[in-house]
Chain A
Amino acid sequence: MSGFSFLRPPRATLLQCAPAVPAGAVCGCGAVHAPPARIGRRAVLGALAAGTVLGSLPSPLRAAVPAGPLERADVTIGFVPISCAAPLIMAEAQGFFIQEGLRVQLQKTANWALVRDRLLDGHLNASHLLSPMPLALSLGLGGNAPHAVRVASMQNLNGQAITLALRHHDRRDPRQWKGMTFAIPFEFSMHNLLLRAYLARHGLDPDHDVTLRVTAPPDMVANLRAGNIDGFLGPEPFNQRAVIEEVGFIHILTAEIWDGHPCCAFGMTAAFMDASPNTAAALQRAMIRAADFMQQPDNRAQAARIMAQPRYLNQPELVIRQSLTGHYADGLGVVRDNPRRAAYSPYPYPSMAVWIMSQFERWGYLKGPVDYRDVAQQVFLIDTVRQQAQAMNLPQPADGGNNWPSFNIMGQHFDPDHPSFFNQG
């Protein structure tokens, strides 16, 4: 099960690195460049552990928000047509980008591997990403060299679900799921990590007791109908779509697994942020405003109407509305209400990144020691989000300024200072 068959080597020219960066040293692009001879995976990981790769980076958005004329007004941003992209779509539709003087072209992209490739090769200046992706790319997981990618804002929280085929309507206890096949959209996704944590919490080994299959969301619905899979942990609106197609039911919302979990992020390469710090800051402001817009319950119905258009999600409004408002049919004849089904907050807490990386390690994607806190701080740019939100007079989160909150996940405590305790529980 590898989603990384099309990986690329590091591209020094695109990342605008100095031509003669010594091997193993830190470059402006945030990556350790391989010497002409091979640099071992061990060596990179060793450097990561020592904190040299990401730790000493001068990141323009880390300390202070730059203020100045835009280096470039024309920006191409990628998105995958799922409800998670709501802030990005609203930033365009509501004119938040235009208010910042940006001319944004949104590029609908077919799958996450392509999003990754196009972001790294510079066709996309910024993109909608699954929040584990910037961490995986920055750490060089999945066989590729490390590429420094930053989370400029979080797009959405919650907003996913586990959908099961209707024939399993009486098998609601995950302990009965041994031997089943589940679809996930991408290996480095919250969907994969949450499903694994959920299964493990109920005593199943996600690597041996079930089959996890990387599948594009529309194929999830079709495969559920055909009986090729037993369920999926997928993005909205496809869970609700499976309900309305009468092929599946919503077993549990991810908001009920971990209320407030990060899902999709808005990211850029560190190289782009270094080259265009003012443009990056303007994009970040527009995205913070858009997240605030989406978080207002009164705006959700309007957002559903806009997102239903062919150029955005190209899905029935009825389906999108249920996934955004949390007033929904569950597929088994019950109308349910959970206003937390989809939530929006731009703050990328580094402790979220610690959870993600600890899960990378738990499931064998990450080998060798990594300084979680250091990488988390480098990739999840919460400080600038706070500063920009404050400057725009947007409501501050009730976290007392703490960037390292702990989380309650399925009744279990996650402490970012002791991430391994969670995995044993």
Chain B
Amino acid sequence: MISVESRRAFFLFLALFAGLLLVWQLSTASAPERSPYGIPQGNAEYQMLMGHAPGTTQTREGFPGPARFVASALQALHAPFHNNGPSDRGIGWQVGASLLRVAIGYGLAVVVAVPLGFLIGLRPVIRRAVDPFIQILRPISPLAWMPLALYTIRNAEGCGIFVIFICSLWPIVLNTAFGVGSVRREWLNVARTLEVGWARRVLFVLLPAAAPTIITGMRIGLGIAWLAIVAAEMLVGSSGIGYFVWNQWNNLSLSNVLLAVLLIGFTGMVLDGALAALQRSVTYAE
């Protein structure tokens, strides 16, 4: 039985969505503004060249309304995995390419950040020593790293991966350190009394106890990684969803840019949902 609360929330969601569509429709319904010097009537040749002749496709797009957006989105999603060489791949390939980059850069970040976080969380001396570095490096925008990365790495692919790595690293380090540092002393004392070895203590006491906090850090890191990759690909990409946005913007095709924007949001939501599920599976009640 669905609760009254969630039914209400659902109807409110529908109302908001309908309102959004209505505003979108109304704000794009009027024809795009005409140039005051454009299209003299009676000059058929000029009209044809401006894309206004009957029977020619309208070249000038303007901001698409909901109906036109859905039509062009269906067209783009019709063959998401078409492949006509590296410069013309379907949107599915582009999302895949971005996900692959994120997987590599983010995977590396997790591999580095979790042990580092353990070290910092367990040794207050180390925490205090590295804290200034982390505090300075943490707020740097991913794109601010781009010039340095391009200069030193000299490889567009490597740059994208580095940018993801460097910006998803810090939240994972900080959360891991915090989680490990706030494990209850009693549990560690019990482990010590039972003469549990160092490796077992980390794996079977600290890791499960700190897991929910670590995964919170990983969720934040993944969110940042997904933000960063799109921007990085717009600058240096030859594939990926960021490249898709650039390529469609090159054609001033706002429908496709809008489609990509929504797809970026949707993919980010799915990624976050996956980690949220992982988080639920490691959460424990004390």
Residues of chain A touching chain B, judged by Cβ–Cβ distance below 8 Å, are: 5-8, 11, 81, 105-110, 114, 117-118, 121, 123, 166, 169, 217-218, 221-222, 241, 243-247, 249, 309-312, 314-316, 318-319, 322, 327-329, 331-335
Contacts and interface: CB of A to CB of B under 8 A. Distances in A.
A83 B224 CA distance: 37
B138 to A, nearest CB: 24
B97 to A, nearest CB: 14
Nearest to A5: B147
Contacts of B237: 110
Interface in B24-76: 32, 34-40, 43, 45-46, 49-51, 56-57, 59-60
Given A114-B236, A245-B252, A329 B46 contact: yes
A106 B39 CA distance: 38
Nearest to A11: B154
Q: Give the secondary structure class of B's interface.
A: loop
B87 A108 contact: yes
Nearest to A113: B150
A388 to B, nearest CB: 27
Contacts of A319: 59
A246 B250 contact: no
B37 A107 contact: no
Given A244-B50, A244-B60, A333-B39, A118 B156 contact: yes
Given A6-B147, A108-B238, A329-B46, A246 B252 contact: no
B36 A166 contact: yes
Nearest to A328: B49
A316 B51 contact: yes
B249 interface: yes
A246 B46 contact: no
Contacts of B236: 110, 114
A327 B48 CA distance: 12
B46 A222 contact: no
Given A8-B154, A105-B85, A218 B37 contact: no
Given A108-B86, A108-B247, A316-B57, 5 more contacts: A108-B238, A121-B155, A314-B251, A329-B46, A334-B46
Contact of B151 (A8, A81, A217, A309): A8
Contacts of A169: 37
Contacts of B59: 244, 316, 318-319
B252 A218 contact: yes
B258 interface: no
Contacts of A309: 88
B44 to A, nearest CB: 10
Contacts of A247: 35
Contacts of A11: 154
* Interface-central residue, B236, B248, B252, by most chain A CB under 10 Å: B252
Contact of A7 (B43, B46, B151, B249): B151
B264 interface: no
B86 A105 contact: yes
A241 B252 contact: yes
A54 to B, nearest CB: 25
Given A110-B235, A117-B150, A319-B59, A246 B43 contact: no
